[in-house]
Amino acid sequence: MVLTQKRISDHILWANINRPKALNAIDFEVLDELEKLVQKVEEDEDIRVLILSGSGDNTFVSGGDLKKFHTIKEKDKMVGQAQRIQDLLFRIEELPCWTVAHINGDAYGGGIELMLAFDFRLSVPDAKFGFTQGRFYLVPGWGGMTRLVEKVGRTKALEWQGKSEVLEAHKVLAHGMIEHILLGDHPEKETLAWVEALTQNDRKYIRTLKENAFRISAARREALEAETEPFAELWVDEQHLSRVEDFMNKGK
């Protein structure tokens, strides 16, 4: 199973991306399972908190699986794939329950784009956050640039992406990209303790509060969706293809 689920209590569901050998990279199967998970949470009125983590102690999500996604060679097909992922992240944002990314290890590229769609992000102290798309001659294409600007501001977002920065948890916490650094001894228990107070009110309350605090305007949605075209344009660029080929050949 590439995505496991555990009902912690009547109101808390914990999901886990389970591809440790691939550093929990997102592939087509993971996308299928995440879409099924979101549908389940949309329909289950008892779920008040959804938590997502990665398998193992070292990686949350390492991004999109380059080996799998590079079977897509045409720009139009990559636009469609990016739009599919964007639709999934919109649905996560709009869930009528609280969503929490339990960052159990490093997050890179698309892993950061994924966690930015959650309401809250809690990180183990030694996690690294890599804005590394630029190393592959790519820009975020899943709405990650728009959401990053919302969290840390335009200038800092451009700096991190432009330099392909890899930052420690305390650094991104200082700029407001994550909400809390766990102590690290028993991170899962800490996360469950942190979310417990969020379960006190039902989904009608949660839905109303989230809608009042975060109304998705047409302009915001247009900004998010506009990321797909330049992402796909670079996806088929020779510089991107060459860098990915070099990356793939390193382990051979």
Q: pLDDT of 26-46, one tens digit each?
A: 999 999 999 999 999 999 999
CA 205, chain centre distance (Å): 25
Q: What is the CATH number of the domain that holds 36?
A: 3.90.226.10
pLDDT digits (tens, 9 = 90+) for 131-175: 999 999 999 999 999 999 999 999 999 999 999 999 999 999 999
> Is residue 209 in a domain?
no
In the chain, pLDDT over 70 holds for what percent of residues?
A: 99
If one counts every other C-beta atom within 10 angstroms of the C-beta of residue 246, the result is 10
pLDDT band at 250 (very low <50, low <70, confident <90, very high): confident
Residues constituting the chain: 252
Residue range of the domain that includes 108: 3-199
Domain total of the chain: 1
Nearest-CA neighbor of 25 among 3, 48, 51, 41?
Answer: 3
- Provide, for the chain, the percentages of residues in helix, strand and coil under a 3-state DSSP scheme, each rounded to the nearest 5: 50, 15, 30
The pTM is what? 0.96
In a domain, 136, yes or no: yes
Quick check: is 217 in a domain?
Answer: no
Q: Does the residue 215 lie in any domain? A: no
Taking residue 205's Cβ as centre, other Cβ atoms within 10 Å add up to 12
64 DSSP 8-state letter: B
Predicted pLDDT at 202 = 98
- End-to-end CA gap in the chain: 28
Helices (H), 46-186: 66-69, 75-93, 110-115, 144-152, 154-162, 169-174
